[in-house]
Amino acid sequence: MGHLSSTDARPTVLVRGEGSRVWDQEGNEFIDALSGLFAVNVGYGRREIADAMAAQLVQMPYVSPFSFPSLPMIELSAKLAAITTTGPQSRAFLTSGGSDAVEAALKMAKALQRKRGFADRNKVIARRVSYHGTSMGALSVNGVTSIRNGFGPLVPGARHAPLPYRFRCDYCAAAAACAGTCIDEVERLIAFEGPETVAAMIMEPVQNSGGAIVSPPGYLQRMREICDHYGIVFIVDEVICGFGRVGGWFGSGEMGVQPDIITTAKGLTSGYAPLGAAIVRKEIADAFIGDEGDKFVHGVTFGGHVASCAAALANIAIIEREDLTQRSRDMGAYMQRELRLALHEHPNVGEVRGMGMFMAVELVRDRSTRGSLEGEDRLMVWLSDQLKSRGLICRADDRLEPVIQLAPPLTLPQSDADAIVAIVADVVQALGRRLGSVPRIHVVGSPAVAPQPVDVAA
């Protein structure tokens, strides 16, 4: 804000979007390889979503979720029950966004434990470096220290387990195969805390914070078993992973796991309107139906807003009609392959990873030692500028190690996928020159996407 308030500030104000491209107020064009913020799954410029919202607003602009059901809410809940991985006859508790959904899920898990007679079950197991939102409950379970600190005292009870982060695993990064120790650590943590004090566990199938950290095969299944064994409510946070982002409607489905509660938002409306949901397994939802004393005392005025539900229905119809979940698998696999081809020999690229249209390129000082770039002066600002000046919007992030994060619309044309790979390769090349780790002129990548050599002075 300090920078923006100076008189010569020239902020980028995005004013128009079409497909996977956006334009600022000065007419500059960008490929949006972040889908806004992991949201615009069906791409920009979808008139049918806008039309569905407009028609709803003219007919009935608001219905209180505390007082009455609304038609779009009923229809959307039925649709979510049909596609969810939480099982048949699941119910959706509709919110206004992701933090809200996490908040609802955490409160529901605690309330359920009390209903079951476990008044002392109030702890929540999350993962280190995870991000689950900014409202007090969601913030408290975040595993990002710098985001949590400064707002204490937080909601008590959050505990953090290690990440399944194979590239720099605390336990087995150097080993030929994963030793599964990070899974054992989750169980040890629960044993240490006392299972009778743990209400819920919350995890993403592919963790965004840290850069598309994919739960390895069998990991989520083990978490499911651990939760079943100890009577813990298993919340899978699909705020990003849902609605085709990692292929399939939900990441839990792609990984063959049935959560107790799914939290979701973002791609639910592809960002055309604010909306979130906690989708809840029937048996859990049923515990809150009955006498007055059974109800779930929670809600927000704009939860499940009628126009947002209309947007979600139109958005889901597009995902179905255009088979965008499969497209996410296919185009994601293509992009990852091209990124690997372009970057695999570069001394400053540690790893390319991801699932579907959710990817990250981890940057290192030296690939042979996996040396960290920690301490490199203003690297994130520099990277963001480099990417943007070449016409690419994506995210440079260092909540763990530095990564370039890519999550383009699921509709991304192959030509734009190729352009993204070429720009990322070019920026990594510039990083190599900045760090002195590549020769003056050095072209990486497959000939198909190799960027032009850039003079070191440029």
Q: Whose CB is nearest to ligand PLP?
A: 98
Residue 117 in tokens: 């007679």
Question: Which lies closer to ligand PLP via its Cβ, residue 102 or residue 313?
Answer: 102
CA–CA separation, 77 vs 350, rounded Å?
42
Residue 261 in tokens: 């509660």
Facing residues of 284 across strands? none
- Using CB under 6 A as the binding rule, whether residue 237 contacts ligand PLP is answered as yes
CA–CA separation, 6 vs 339, rounded Å?
38
- Using CB under 6 A as the binding rule, whether residue 97 contacts ligand PLP is answered as yes
Question: Which lies closer to ligand PLP via its Cβ, residue 138 or residue 420?
Answer: 138
Question: Which listed residue (124, 223, 227, 239) binds ligand PLP by CB under 6 A?
Answer: 239
Facing residues of 353 across strands? 360
Facing residues of 32 across strands? 393
Question: Which lies closer to ligand PLP via its Cβ, residue 103 or residue 351?
Answer: 103
**Least spacing, CB of residue 159 vs ligand PLP, in Å:** 18
- Tell me the window of 10-18, 79-87, 95-103, 299-307 that interacts with ligand PLP (CB under 6 A): 95-103
**Least spacing, CB of residue 128 vs ligand PLP, in Å:** 14
- Going by C-alpha positions, the residue among 249, 262, 312, 267 that lies closest to residue 93 is 262
- Tell me the window of 22-30, 235-243, 361-369, 450-458 that interacts with ligand PLP (CB under 6 A): 235-243
**Least spacing, CB of residue 263 vs ligand PLP, in Å:** 7
Residue 59 three-state SS: helix
Question: Which listed residue (132, 224, 327, 367) binds ligand PLP by CB under 6 A?
Answer: 132
Question: Which lies closer to ligand PLP via its Cβ, residue 17 or residue 133?
Answer: 133
- Tell me the window of 16-24, 232-240, 358-366, 389-397 that interacts with ligand PLP (CB under 6 A): 232-240
Residue 142 in tokens: 């975040």
**Least spacing, CB of residue 132 vs ligand PLP, in Å:** 5
Question: Which lies closer to ligand PLP via its Cβ, residue 132 or residue 305?
Answer: 132
- Using CB under 6 A as the binding rule, whether residue 249 contacts ligand PLP is answered as no
Say which amino acid occupies 350. Answer: G
- Going by C-alpha positions, the residue among 104, 41, 113 that lies closest to residue 269 is 41
Contact 91, 79 (CB under 8 A): no
Question: Which lies closer to ligand PLP via its Cβ, residue 100 or residue 338?
Answer: 100
How far from the centroid of its chain's Cα atoms is residue 408's Cα? 12
Question: Which listed residue (31, 49, 83, 102) binds ligand PLP by CB under 6 A?
Answer: 102
Using CB atoms within 10 A of its CB, is residue 289 exposed (0-12), middle (13-18) or buried (19+)?
Answer: exposed
Residue 406 in tokens: 């890519």
- Using CB under 6 A as the binding rule, whether residue 204 contacts ligand PLP is answered as yes
- Tell me the window of 86-94, 97-105, 161-169, 376-384 that interacts with ligand PLP (CB under 6 A): 97-105
Spatial neighbors of 40 by CB under 8 A, at least 6 apart, are: 17, 32, 270, 271, 409
- Tell me the window of 127-135, 246-254, 313-321, 434-442 that interacts with ligand PLP (CB under 6 A): 127-135
Helix, strand, coil shares of the chain, percent, nearest 5, are 40, 15, 45
Residues lying near ligand PLP in the complex (CB under 6 A) are found at 97-99, 102, 131-133, 204, 208, 237, 239-240, 265
